Each structure stands twice: as structure tokens, then as C-alpha cells.
Structure 1
Amino acid sequence: MLLGKKRKLGRKIQELSVGESLQLTEKIEDKDLLLYLGLTNDSNPLYIQHDFTSQTSFQKPVVPTIMLNGVVTSAISKYIPGPGSYITSQQFEYPQPVYHYDTIHILLEVIAVNIELNEVTVNIEGRNDEDLLVMQGKVTVNPPNREQDDSVNKKEEI
């Protein structure tokens, strides 16, 4: 694992610009759903039981929306701005459900960079293979702040 290894920090605020983007494609598999359900102890039958969901307007099991959020937060932690980033706010809407085995295409685009606040706003848009909008929103992120990180490290040394 990553324990004991020094990881490179993501990009700092000055290295980010409005308009940069990242396109992700994720296929939702049973193993992902089972991991989520096991970790959260979420027993909503809407997520897993075909007989239950056949009685609803969805007709088949849906993917928990928080799993879609997880795909976004993972991309922010890995790529935009990268390791050491901290999400300070997020707002999402889910106009259409995502079903088991759906493939979703998520576009993350930097729409604002505020150097004074060390804050980046990332627009999120997710679509399924039928090009239906399944997720949209905005995430506010603090990129790694090396000066702040240095002061924390100095406090730990004391």
C-alpha cells in the first residue's frame, strides 16, 4: 500500500486554469455495489432487489447516487487538482437514474480559479450511453497548499 511512501502533492492553485477538463468512463459492476452496501450498511432494496424495484417506477435496481459522487471525488483526488486536495463543498442533481451495469461518462471541467482563497470550482456533468444526463453539479476544492502543509509539518515536529 501507500503507507510509508512519500506521495507527490497534486497541483497547486497557480498551476490550474479555467477550461481544463477530464473525461472519465466508469462501468458500474455488481462488485462495486456490493462493496458500497457492505461498507455503508445501506439496506435500501431499491439498490439490489429486482422483485422490489419491479414494483417501483424504476423497474430495476438503481445505483446509489453517493457512488457517483465517489467517482467524482476520486477523480479530484487523483487528477484535478490531485493528491492533497480537499473538497469544501459539493452540490449535485441526478435527473435520471443510473442502473446496474450502466456505463457513465463524467466530464469534470474547471470553471473558476480563485488564487486568494486557494479555491477551484469544478463543474460536473455525467451522461449514460444513451447520452441522457444522469448527474450534474459543482464541486469546490482547495488544492494542496504547500505553505500550509509545511506549517502543519513543522507543528508535528515540535
Structure 2
Amino acid sequence: MILGKKRRVGRGIHDIKVGEKLKLTEKIEDRDLLLYLGLTNDPNPIYIQHDFASQTDVQKPIVPTLMLTGIITSAISKYLPGPGSYILGQHLDFPVPVYHYETVNILLEVTEVHVEDNQITIQVNATNESGKPTVIGFVTVAAPELKDQQLTSQSLDNF
């Protein structure tokens, strides 16, 4: 039981600086794809059927772009700026598909800090194992904004 235990909150707007970076490496595994398909009930055969995908321009099953967006969202929620932050808007392009079992390298970089609006802009650049761009764009994020920089478990009743 974790009653009364303090929880970390991400960094506030005054603690975030333009130029901060976060690098991630994610390998897309079968379990990740199956969880996504189960949660979204997305039956698109281009995600899981080799026979179908081989007849398309991508040639083999691809990773859903929403999964890639989820990896980016998770990194923002966990690290930059961290717990308590949330995405207000996004513009992401997916110029090259990501295939099953491929490793994706993601770079997030703070490009703007708007103290008065409590918002930051994070540039997103992801590449596949060959160095080709797989995700390009940006997200606008609300930084955590709490009176006390600690939460108790009572504040997190649903977790």
C-alpha cells in the first residue's frame, strides 16, 4: 500500500530551457503491436498480415503511426517535462513507415518556452535503423502547474 507516499511531479515552466534534449531508442516488438491492436480494435491488415502487406507499396506489415505517437507522448509524460504535463496540440508527419522489429531512434528537443501561457514546444525527429526519418514534427505541451510540487497517493486515487 502506498498511502501518503509522495509522487514526483515534472518540471515547471520556469525550469525548462530552450535546447533541452531527450533521446530515446525503442524496438517495436510483437507484444507492443498486439497490445495496440487489442486496445484500439483496429483490424487493418497492413499492421499484421504479411500476405496482405506484401501486395502494397510498404511490402511488409508496418507499425501503426498512433503507436509511434504514443511512444512520444509517453516520453513527454515521463521525462520532458514529466508527470503532470500534457499535450495540447501536435503536428506529426510519418514520411517512412516503421516495420515490425525495427528500432526507432527518437530525439525530442525543446524549441520554445512560453512562460506566460505555461506552454513549451518540442520538436520531434525520429529515424529508423537506416537513418531515414520516420516521424517529423512538433508537439505543444502544457508544463506541470501545481501549488505543491509533490502529490500524495490521495491525489492519485485512480492509480
Alignment of 1:92-131 (within 5 A): 92-131=92-131
Q: Which sits farther off after the overlay, 131-140 or 2-11? A: 2-11
Question: Which residue of 1 is the match for residue 55 of structure 2?
Answer: 55
Post-superposition offset of 1:137: 0.8
Post-superposition offset of 1:89: 0.3
Alignment of 1:7-26 (within 5 A): 7-26=7-26
3-state DSSP class of the match of 1:80?
Answer: coil
Post-superposition offset of 1:12: 0.2
Specify whether residues 79 and 127 from structure 1 end up closer, same or farther in structure 2 by C-alpha distance, changes over 3 A only.
same
Q: Which sits farther off after the overlay, 2-11 or 126-135? A: 2-11
3-state DSSP class of the match of 2:116?
Answer: coil
Distance 2:3 2:59 in 1: 44
Q: Deviations over 1:114-142 (max 9, x none)?
A: 00000000000000110000111100001
TM-score scaled by structure 1? 0.90
TM-score scaled by structure 2? 0.89
Post-superposition offset of 1:146: 1.5
Structure 1 moving runs of 4+ over 4 Å:
1-5
Q: Deviations over 1:70-125 (max 9, x none)?
A: 01000000100000001100110000000000000000000000000000000000
Question: Which residue of 2 is the match for residue 70 of structure 1?
Answer: 70
Specify whether residues 79 and 14 from structure 1 end up closer, same or farther in structure 2 by C-alpha distance, changes over 3 A only.
same
Distance 2:60 2:101 in 1: 11
Structure 1 portions without partners, runs of 5+:
150-158
Question: Which residue of 1 is the match for residue 156 of structure 2?
Answer: none
What letter is aligned with 1:103? Answer: T
3-state DSSP class of the match of 2:117?
Answer: coil
The RMSD of aligned alpha carbons is 1.9
State yes or no: 1:133 paired with 2:133. Answer: yes
3-state DSSP class of the match of 1:116?
Answer: helix
Specify whether residues 142 and 2 from structure 1 end up closer, same or farther in structure 2 by C-alpha distance, changes over 3 A only.
farther
Post-superposition offset of 1:6: 3.5
Distance 1:24 1:2 in 2: 30
Distance 1:49 1:38 in 2: 15
Structure 2 portions without partners, runs of 5+:
150-159
Distance 2:135 2:5 in 1: 35
User: Identity rate of aligned residues, in percent?
Assistant: 59
Distance 1:97 1:6 in 2: 41
